[in-house]
Amino acid sequence: MNVSSFRDCKAWKSEGLPLSTSSNEACKLYDAILSQYVTWRNNETLGGIEGCITSVKAADPDFVMGHVISTGLELVGTGSSVLRDERLASAVRRTLELANSQELTSRERSHVKAVELFSKGALHKACEVWEGILVDHPTDMLALKFAHDGFFYLGEQTQMRDSVARVLPHWKPHMPFYSYLKGMYSFGLLETRLYDEAEKMAKEALALTPEDGWSVHAVAHVHEMKAEMDKGLKFMASTEKDWMVCDMLACHNYWHWALYHIEKGNYEDALKIFDEQVSQRCVKSGAMLDIVDSCSLLYRLELEGVSVKDRYRELLQVTQPHTEDHTLLFNDLHFLMVSLGSKETTTTQRLLESLQELAKDPAENHQLQITERVGLPMCQALLEYEQGNYSQAVELLKPIKHRFVEIGGSDAQRDVFSQLLIHAAMKSGDKEHQRFARSMLIERDAVRPNSPLTDRLIQRAHSLHV
């Protein structure tokens, strides 16, 4: 492991972001972890993120910001829950204990507070703390990235954009991560439907760092939202060799590539991408982003009438251990797709019952606070659709269709639930529901003109009307 090029204690202090440790090695390892988080890349020459986390704790076991970044990354990854994982809960407690026993800067204490709040599910409050850090320290990339992810999970699209916009003037091109900051801003612009500005910003980032998988993702997303399928397919193919090195985001970019094929009705191509890239990477990484992408890709194909055979059963081995995590409603809904697709009624029942039980006393947990009014109706709608009760699925989803954003995720990721509502409405025997389906398709066509998928659905809805 060679971390000599990363920032030491003196460098962090000169940038106005001092770290409370006397170990230069710990400072450099902190920087190495942050670098891999920002660039979405596990650098194997450094031992990857996990290797660097082990090393930073060895370099200085009491280094508070080392614990903040390691524990914070696990929490933000949403693959573990303090409710079920005592090791993670213990890591949060250890971070607090260390902070209470040392002299720290106010910035570091705020980081500790934000991690504590995030561990309780108090995402809004955690983001407020990170935003408070950025007021005085606009170049604190850890605060910015954690806030960015927090707003993403909350579905706070405008805040996700503006959080980056507020600090951007304080950054200079020579600073570490400058190009990636543009990529983050591009994503915020994208999620607030400023597509042309988003594409321009992402391409500026790519001109500086061609292997920036996040900016590639943003451009791919733009083409998808603008229904530029052929342009998107060409772009992904031309940039593949660059973003493939960004291994932590490669699976998600392949997922977008597969969505282009589904849009065009090239189902075999989409299945091929699932089998050769998405599924294999999901099993290997165990990363939650890869898992939910695998779930939704199969579900979208099934909505289109494509048989996915035993793929749900294979994916169940990955999702089943997370059945009672309940870190995010977004995750729960995707796990439910798999248990329903696998006809695994016991797992489905466990997920729904444990979620209902936790929702009775949500405390500070934002996700549990919105479970009753948004999460459970969406879960129940998935169940009703699977059982052929299409009218019931429509009645559950129709009143909350403008609240889907509250479960978090991107517009592209949440679109599967809009598609579900359209399919349920078209399959419903209720003529009013069928008229509602046509209205939704008119809305969809206005936002994404020239979408082949929308055109197919419109034709199907028209045939029902005739």
Summary mean pLDDT of the chain: 95
Element (H or E) spanning 48, and its range? helix 48-59
> Which amino acid is located at 345 in the chain?
T
Whole-number pLDDT of residue 247: 83
Contact 332, 340 (CB under 8 A): no
pLDDT band at 243 (very low <50, low <70, confident <90, very high): confident
List, for residues 311-340, the tens digit of each pLDDT value. 999 999 999 999 999 999 999 999 999 999
User: Could you tell me the residue ranges of all domains in the chain?
Assistant: 171-245, 391-466
Q: 225 by DSSP, 3-state: which? A: helix
List, for residues 151-177, the tens digit of each pLDDT value. 999 999 999 999 999 999 999 999 999
Residue 246 predicted with pLDDT over 80: no
Nearest to 216 by CA among 240, 197, 194: 240
Over residues 265-289, the mean pLDDT reads: 96
Nearest to 108 by CA among 75, 142, 82: 142
Residue 135 predicted with pLDDT over 80: yes
Residue 465 predicted with pLDDT over 70: no
| pTM of the complete model beyond 0.85 | yes
Contact 160, 180 (CB under 8 A): no
- Whole-angstrom Cα distance, residue 183 to residue 201? 7
CATH of domain 171-245: 1.25.40
Share of the chain above pLDDT 90, in %: 92
pLDDT band at 1 (very low <50, low <70, confident <90, very high): low
Share of the chain above pLDDT 70, in %: 99
Element (H or E) spanning 159, and its range? helix 157-167
Whole-number pLDDT of residue 350: 98
DSSP letters spanning 374-435: IIHHHHHHHHHHHTT-HHHHHHHHGGGGGGGGGG-S-HHHHHHHHHHHHHHHHHSS-HHHHH
pLDDT band at 217 (very low <50, low <70, confident <90, very high): very high
Over residues 91-96, the mean pLDDT reads: 98
pLDDT band at 245 (very low <50, low <70, confident <90, very high): confident
List, for residues 362-398, the tens digit of each pLDDT value. 999 999 999 999 999 999 999 999 999 999 999 999 9
Q: 192 by DSSP, 3-state: which? A: coil
- Whole-angstrom Cα distance, residue 56 to residue 176? 20
Residue 28 predicted with pLDDT over 80: yes
Nearest to 245 by CA among 285, 278, 213, 206: 213
Tell me the CA distances in angstroms from 401 to 214, 343, 381, one per residue in order.
Answer: 28, 26, 12
List, for residues 49-78, the tens digit of each pLDDT value. 999 999 999 999 999 999 999 999 999 999
Whole-number pLDDT of residue 395: 98
Over residues 247-271, the mean pLDDT reads: 95
Q: Which residue has the higher pLDDT, 37 or 449?
A: 37
Whole-number pLDDT of residue 87: 96
Residue 298 predicted with pLDDT over 90: yes
Over residues 13-26, the mean pLDDT reads: 97
Residue 179 predicted with pLDDT over 80: yes
Whole-number pLDDT of residue 167: 98
CA angle centred on 308, ends 304 and 314, rounded to 5°: 140
Integer-rounded Cα Rg, in Å, for the chain is 22
Whole-number pLDDT of residue 466: 59
Over residues 2-10, the mean pLDDT reads: 92
